[in-house]
């Protein structure tokens, strides 16, 4: 097997496992808050938003720094750093005595982790440029697959073992992913000062240097829209269920099915975009994601919510792989870590604000209102891409 393929597949498997571990706690996080002494529903919604936001805030600060260090010292070591630190911190979360301690651990997690950014930088610097859509689409499937199976398995674990024990299991899973990278990936890293003398970025029909701010703006808004519903989704499921029995596992199952569909869409749309271009794919996926996000707010039961969520996952699955492919195609190898570090920081800004907005909106209005906010934002972004790229000097189609 070629070196780039081995790196891609091992990193893909390890990152899937890591994301599974990180997302293990999502379906029961609001309920863990209640176990730590917060019982008022409005306060639970606000704290849930803060806890989901905290890692993103840490990532905003640290992502560009880790990206620069990756370009100087290697990408593999950055993946290992993120996974080993993340696993340790998740285990410590299971030992938290109050919600304030949990919040600080979540923030520290953001400062020291960022596994997907590190993994994407490692893969992007290794794969052939003409396979960017496929390779980065495959990497995005690790996010969707891990983020779908994680809540499902985590919900089952919480129902059977309790919340604290589930944190210990999640931490062990992330540590196992780090061990896989340590033994399974071999990186022949060339420091960027040496590579700079040899590497010249190829001129392309679209120039990311001219579109970089536009791409970052799109990425920010997409992450903002995608995370608005995160802190209240379990509470929305709780509202739709007639009984609280198996609440965590039901929430996890819905997220699992939609995430698996999104994973399939990511790699499939990644291949398609390599052949047919990126702009139209980005527009279609974003607009359809907005439509089905709005429909989720209209769900009358968990079956309807599941179908709307699956359709949403199918649409949103192609968005991030397309953006990552655009970034990679417009970036020289000596700058891969830095560029993806910057994009990760911008993405984290959206991920930080989204849950705060969602939690606040839900506490002020109704629990389903964040779905409306998210859907309208996706639709606005899709229409904006049409306008901006149509009149942009550098077309990314």
- Residue 190 falls inside a structural domain: no
Please tell me the predicted confidence (pLDDT) of residue 100.
Answer: 93
Tens digits of per-residue pLDDT, 271-327?
A: 676 666 677 788 888 999 999 999 998 888 888 889 999 899 888 888 887 887 777
CA dihedral sign, ordered 259, 262, 264, 266: negative
- Residue 191 falls inside a structural domain: no
368 closest CA partner among 305, 289, 310: 305
Q: Which two tokens stand for residue 333?
A: 């190898």
Instruction: Please compute, for residue 79, the number of CA atoms within 13 A of its CA located in the half-sphere on the CB side.
Output: 32
Tens digits of per-residue pLDDT, 359-396?
A: 788 878 888 888 998 999 999 988 888 776 554 444 44
- Residue 19 falls inside a structural domain: yes
Instruction: Please compute, for residue 176, the number of CA atoms within 13 A of its CA located in the half-sphere on the CB side.
Output: 14
Distances (CA, A) of 74 to 70, 191, 381: 5, 8, 35
272 closest CA partner among 386, 394, 137: 137
- Residue 82 falls inside a structural domain: yes
Query: In 185-301, which ranges are continuous DSSP H helix?
Result: 192-198, 208-227, 233-240, 247-276, 279-296
Number of other residues whose CB lies within 10 A of the CB of residue 364: 10
Question: What's the CA gap between 130 and 146, in Å, rounded?
Answer: 26
DSSP 26: G
Q: What is the pTM of this model?
A: 0.71
Angle at the Cα of 55 from the Cα atoms of 254 and 264, rounded to 5 degrees = 35
Tens digits of per-residue pLDDT, 21-33?
A: 998 887 788 888 9
Yes or no: say if 326 and 278 are a contact pair by the CB < 8 Å rule.
Answer: yes
Q: For residue 60, give its domain range.
A: 3-185+203-391
Q: What is the CATH number of the domain that holds 101?
A: 1.20.1250.20
- Residue 198 falls inside a structural domain: no
29 vs 248, higher pLDDT: 29
- Residue 194 falls inside a structural domain: no
Yes or no: say if 288 and 379 are a contact pair by the CB < 8 Å rule.
Answer: no
- Residue 147 falls inside a structural domain: yes
Yes or no: say if 96 and 104 are a contact pair by the CB < 8 Å rule.
Answer: no
- Residue 196 falls inside a structural domain: no
Q: Which two tokens stand for residue 278?
A: 């990126």
Question: What's the CA gap between 87 and 278, in Å, rounded?
Answer: 35
> Domain tally for the chain?
1
Tens digits of per-residue pLDDT, 168-185?
A: 999 999 999 999 999 988
């Amino acid at each position: 097997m070629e070196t780039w393929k081995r790196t891609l597949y091992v990193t893909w498997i390890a990152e899937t496992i890591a994301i599974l571990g990180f997302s293990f706690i999502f379906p029961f996080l609001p309920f863990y808050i209640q176990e730590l002494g917060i019982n008022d529903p409005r306060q639970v919604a606000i704290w849930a938003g803060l806890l989901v936001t905290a890692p993103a805030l840490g990532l905003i600060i640290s992502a560009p720094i880790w990206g620069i260090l990756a370009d100087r010292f290697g990408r593999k070591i950055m993946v290992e750093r993120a996974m080993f630190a993340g696993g340790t911190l998740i285990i410590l979360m299971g030992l938290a005595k109050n919600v304030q301690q949990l919040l600080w651990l979540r923030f520290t997690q953001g400062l020291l982790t960022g596994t997907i950014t590190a993994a994407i930088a490692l893969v992007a610097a290794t794969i052939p440029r003409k396979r960017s859509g496929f390779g980065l689409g495959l990497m995005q499937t690790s996010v969707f697959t891990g983020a779908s199976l994680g809540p499902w398995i985590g919900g089952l674990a919480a129902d059977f073992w309790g919340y604290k024990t589930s944190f210990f299991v999640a931490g062990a899973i992330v540590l196992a992913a780090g061990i896989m990278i340590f033994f399974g990936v071999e990186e022949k890293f060339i420091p960027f000062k040496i590579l700079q003398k040899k590497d010249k970025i190829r001129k392309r029909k679209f120039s990311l240097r001219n579109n970089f701010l536009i791409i970052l703006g799109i990425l920010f808004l997409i992450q903002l829209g995608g995370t608005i519903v995160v802190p209240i989704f379990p509470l929305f499921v709780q509202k739709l269920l007639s009984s609280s029995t198996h609440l965590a596992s039901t929430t996890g199952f819905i997220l699992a099915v939609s995430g698996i569909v999104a994973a399939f869409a990511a790699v499939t749309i990644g291949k398609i975009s390599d052949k047919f271009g990126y702009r139209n794919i980005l527009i279609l996926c974003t607009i359809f994601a907005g439509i089905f996000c709005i429909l989720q707010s209209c769900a009358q039961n968990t079956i309807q919510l599941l179908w709307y969520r699956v359709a949403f996952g199918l649409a949103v699955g192609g968005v991030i792989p397309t953006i990552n492919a655009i970034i990679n195609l417009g970036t020289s190898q000596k700058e891969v870590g830095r560029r993806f570090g910057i994009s990760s920081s911008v993405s984290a800004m959206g991920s930080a604000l989204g849950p705060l907005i969602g939690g606040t909106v839900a506490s002020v209005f109704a629990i389903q209102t964040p779905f409306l906010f998210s859907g309208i934002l996706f639709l606005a972004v899709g229409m904006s891409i049409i306008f901006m790229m149509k009149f942009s000097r550098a077309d990314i189609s």
